Amino acid sequence: MQDKYVNPFTDFGFKKLFGEEPHKALLISFLNTLLPEKHQIEDLQYSRNEQQGAMVMDRKAIFDLSCVSPSGERFIVELQKAKQNYFKDRSVYYATFPIQEQAKRGDWDYKLSAVYTVGILDFVFDEDRAESDDSVVHQVQLKNQHGEVFYDKLTFIYLTLPNFKKTLAELKTTQDKWFYIFRH
């Protein structure tokens, strides 16, 4: 019998391994390596990965994965193999959908659950190259003029996998192992 492998860095492989109910423990394990303690996931529910714009003529958004935790946090996970111009802009646009879907009709206090957009990238942003930043994980939040987090419920996490250089023998954490799987 011949071995069969699924490449998690292809659209098919990513959705097969992480986007199906029988394998959601894999997605939970991966996301928990990126999330703060207060937003660790015990379970999640997959939600629609296609969102329509507000008007018929508006552009729709199709996420690789979209899910919600039982406590209401929303997660968009995007796999991007080829470098794409304006990927950060696309991430911000995508994040508006899980924010808007939390709106309640009628009397509502505007309290929102956290939204995380995770980009698993097989390229490095040009601006990160210029700064010779070799970080793998880039966590971005809205900050004020003093560099203090102004709003902690909207987080963008970009993984620049070309910067992950560890060998199999150097892997120590669960996060290292996930990055290695995606990279190799």
Q: For residue range 92-139, what is the model confidence (pLDDT) as tens digits?
A: 988 988 898 888 888 888 889 999 999 999 998 877 666 667 899 999
Distance CA 48, CA 69 (A): 14
Q: Mean of the pLDDT values across residues 42-54?
A: 68
pLDDT at 43: 87
Q: Which of 131, 132, 128 is nearest to 140 (CA)?
A: 128
99 contacts 72 by C-beta, under 8 angstroms: no
Supply the DSSP string of 63-114, one letter for each residue.
-SEEEE-TT--EEEEEEE-S--TTHHHHHHHHHHHHHHTT--SSS-------
Q: Which helix (DSSP H) or strand (DSSP E) does residue 140 occupy? A: strand 137-143
- On the CB side of 103, CA atoms within 13 Å amount to 7
Average pLDDT of the chain is 85
Here the tokens at position 100 are 């808007």
Pairing of strands 74-80, 65-68: antiparallel
Distance CA 12, CA 177 (A): 21
pTM score, two decimals? 0.86
pLDDT at 85: 85
Q: For residue range 145-179, what is the model confidence (pLDDT) as tens digits?
A: 999 999 999 999 999 999 999 999 999 999 999 99
Other Cβ atoms within 10 Å of 10 Cβ, number = 13
Q: For residue range 6-23, what is the model confidence (pLDDT) as tens digits?
A: 888 888 888 888 888 888
pLDDT at 128: 63
